[in-house]
Structure 1
Amino acid sequence: MNTSYGLEKVTALEKKINDDYRNIAGMVVLKDGKTLYENYFNECTATSRIHVYSVTKSIISILIGIAIDKGYIKSIDQKVLDFFPDYTVKSREKTLQNVTLKNLLTMTAPYKYKFAPYIKYFTSDDGVKFTLDLLGGKGQIGEFRYTPLIGPDILSGILIKATGQSVLDFATDNLFSPLGISALSNVTFHSKEEQLAFNKANNISGWVADGAGTNTAGWGLTLSPTDMAKIGQLLLDNGIWNGEQIVSARWVDESTKVHSRWEKQNLAYGYLWWILDDKEHAFAAMGDGGNVIYVNAKKKIVISIASLFEQKVKDRLEFIKGYIEPIFENYE
């Protein structure tokens, strides 16, 4: 692709971002591990840290894989309650006893709530116990049920029980530090106003934690677009970073295969990753407001987009597949 054609395309891309995707904070495009594009918007810079919402789930998936690689967790077929021996189960609660770690990773665990009790969740001091109390019920194990916030925190509890470390410390030691990603500290809220301010901030480096010190698993991590791109490149390179195996190739392969499907949305799901295209081995971490880590293994492309929160934003995957990827896929 000649330079003038490339510049023309990039200029058009940035005009489209400013016209149609105005809440984008930054974007990075990697091809064959090389940075082809990196730019920031909305007064954000390379040092900005954005709340990436549900992209957090895909980070948790990697951490579960690392914990299995290191022998802290035997298998994803272990029962959830194996990790919480002190948790008291009601005598009639049979379903809860059979929910496995894999059910949590594939969003195929049932919950007792019909409408998510968000206010009680956000004001709870212990997100893990709060969620365990809602796990199970009359639903069918194995049926896909997407639980964006109330559900994934159990995985944080499992990581803490299995490793003896906080989620942030385990992530820092085994994922963030090797990749040069900084998440400086736990972020705690003392009011609704503090939480709303966090959602809009671009300068807080850390991971939300509840009153018990447990880091959230479904949301709450702040990253830069470069951090996000590094995560994507790690998976594209089968878990290797700078010659070091950070997470096993087997886990990367398993977690980015189809294990369940959200029929209503016609979306396939792996282990907390959305599976977009089996033939091209394309998959993504997706967070509210337009936060995305997109990986296309066949084309060896990684695209990360960090976005300041807005409701009902335009579809980022449509933007990536239809507009961004075609610009960069033929760069040599």
Structure 2
Amino acid sequence: MDNKELHSYIAEHQDNICGIAAMKNGEMAYSDYWHGFKPSDTVHVMSVTKSVVSLLIGIAIDQGLISDVRQHVLDFFPEYNIKRGEKTIQQVTLEHLLTMTAPYKYRSEPWTKVCSSDDWTKAALDLLGGKAGLTGSFKYSTLGIHILTGILAKVSGMKTVDFANRFLFGPLGISPFHQFEAESAQEHKAFTISKEPKKNIWFTDPLGVGAAGFGLCLSAGDMAKIGQLCLNKGVCNGTSVVSSEWIAKSTKPRIKCDEHFANMQYGYLWWTPDPDRSAYAALGNSGNVIYINPQNNTVISVSATFKPSIYDRVPFIQEFIEPMLNQ
């Protein structure tokens, strides 16, 4: 399949894809765009945000702002008023948040309660813990891990976008980001489901703390730069942006998920889609992907507009894009 045939195939069979950028051996090997999107246009990449936050946590550890992932969450919030009888929250560490094994006191994520609060970090802390204790069970959480960006704000004294611009996006040659706060539930929903191109923005809470589980808007090209940083073990243009140790730790499979998550494995906010391959990925709703395969020295990123229940994007990459790069 040549580039023209692939363009037509994607338009017909993967109709919400708006950009693909693929790198091989450190060079851009393929890029294409759909639906009027330009290379500089961004989309809300949903949970790909989580993997970017993992990189920022690694940078904070490299800088000594955080000692290590075994630090207890409440070490960073000595002012937090623990509810009477709540003991589990005192045992929760950063590693529990990063591996999605933190316990929460809810059955389904309380979006309205958290996103209508003045301080999402405190609201997320109020959800943490419970009588069951630390079970080690995988419990995927988008709101609960807001605590991670709350910690970044605490230890750095910086807004999330400022920390990311200075220590991650800037060194990668990615244009600066700006924070975006929705003033109503309707604006929040519009941000999530809009199919229009966006700017370099990161959805934040009222305190300017970037949402850790969603909310980052990236282009396919910028996602490829992030993926290439990981493939290069944290180095960009000869400069270490994040330590190779953190790249190795955060992308190492640690949790085996069930069929609800396609039996994938999970590291520190990174997925391992296929146990038979060395590839790992940042995965977001609507099929937004940063796919990194060290074995083939490739990075493939896909940006996509809102469309729920897209579960075939990694197989699509492996079937159509990877073979084309390996010809």
Q: Give the TM-score normalised by the residue count of structure 1.
A: 0.94
Partner of 2:169: 176
Shift, 1:254, TM fit: 0.6
Larger deviation: 128-137 or 89-98? 89-98
Cα 1:280/1:197, change in 2 over 3 Å: same
Q: Which residue pairs with 2:129 in the alignment?
A: 136
Q: Which residue of 1 aligns with 2:320?
A: 323
Which has the higher mean CA deviation after the structures are superposed, 117-126 or 231-240? 117-126
1:43 matched to which residue of 2? 36
Cα deviation for residue 276 of structure 1 reads 2.7
User: 1:269 is aligned with what amino acid?
Assistant: Y
Distance 1:196 1:97 in 2: 34
Q: Is the 8 A contact 1:21 1:313 kept in 2?
A: no
Residue in 2 aligned with 1:309? Answer: 306
- Find 1:273's aligned residue among 270, 274, 279: 270
Contact 2:46 2:213 in 1 (8 A): yes
Shift of 1:138: 2.6
How many residue pairs end up in the alignment?
322
Match of 2:225 among 230, 242, 251: 230
Q: Which residue of 2 aligns with 1:4?
A: none
Moved more, 217-226 or 117-126: 117-126
1:14 and 1:55 map into 2 onto residues whose CA distance is: 24
State whether residues 99 and 269 of structure 2, in contact with CA within 8 Å, keep that contact through their aligned partners in structure 1.
Answer: yes
Mean Cα displacement is larger for which, 312-321 or 194-203? 194-203
1:100 partnered with 2:93:
yes
Aligned to 1:29: 22
Deviates more, 1:175-184 or 1:126-135: 175-184
The secondary structure found in structure 2 opposite 1:284 is: strand
Report which stretch shifted further, 252-261 or 177-186.
177-186
Q: Which letter does structure 2 place at the counterpart of 1:162?
A: V
Give per-residue Cα distances to partners, 1:86-122, cap 9 Å, x unaligned.
Answer: 0011231111100000000000101000121112222
> Per the alignment, in what secondary structure is the counterpart of residue 174 of structure 2?
coil
Unaligned runs of 5+ in 1: 1-7
Q: Secondary structure at the match of 2:127?
A: coil
Residue-by-residue CA offset, 1:146-202 (whole Å, 9 max, x unaligned): 11x221100011111111211111111100101111243110111223223323131
Paired AA for residue 289 in structure 1: S
Write the distance in 2 (CA, Å) between the matches of 1:109 and 1:41.
Answer: 39
User: Sequence identity of aligned pairs in percent?
Assistant: 45
Shift of residue 278 of structure 1?
5.4
5 Å-filtered alignment, 1:224-303, equals 224-264=219-259, 265=261, 266-277=263-274, 280-303=277-300
Structure 1 residue matching 2:286: 3-state secondary structure: coil
**1:112 to 2:109 alignment:** no
Distance 1:69 1:314 in 2: 34
Q: Does 1:185 align with 2:178?
A: yes
In the TM superposition, residue 244 of structure 1 has moved relative to its aligned partner by 0.2
Alignment partner of 2:140 out of 146, 153, 156: 146
CA distance in 1: counterparts of 2:284 and 2:273, whole angstroms: 15
* Unmatched 5+ stretches in structure 2: none
Cα distance 1:40–1:139, how it changes in 2: closer, same or farther (>3 A)?
Answer: farther
Segment drifting more, 50-59 vs 174-183: 174-183
Whole-angstrom distance in 2 between the partners of 1:324 and 1:140: 44
Please say which of residues 274-283 and 39-48 is displaced more in the overlay. 274-283
Alpha-carbon distance between aligned partners in 1 of 2:148 and 2:66, rounded to the nearest angstrom = 12
Task: Give the counterpart letter for 2:182 in structure 1.
Answer: F
Aligned residues of 2:165 and 2:177 also touching (Cα < 8 A): no
Pick the aligned partner of 1:81 from 74, 85, 88: 74
Q: CA deviation at 1:268?
A: 0.3
Give the letter for the 2:153 counterpart. Answer: I
* 2:183 counterpart SS class: coil
In structure 1, how many angstroms separate the alpha carbons of the residues matched to 2:320 and 2:87?
Answer: 49
TM-score calculated relative to the size of structure 2: 0.95
Question: Equivalents in 1 of 2:75, 2:46: separation in Å?
Answer: 28
Please name the residue that 1:3 is paired with. none
Contact 2:44–2:198 (CA<8 Å) still a contact in 1?
no
> Deviation of residue 47 (structure 1)?
1.6
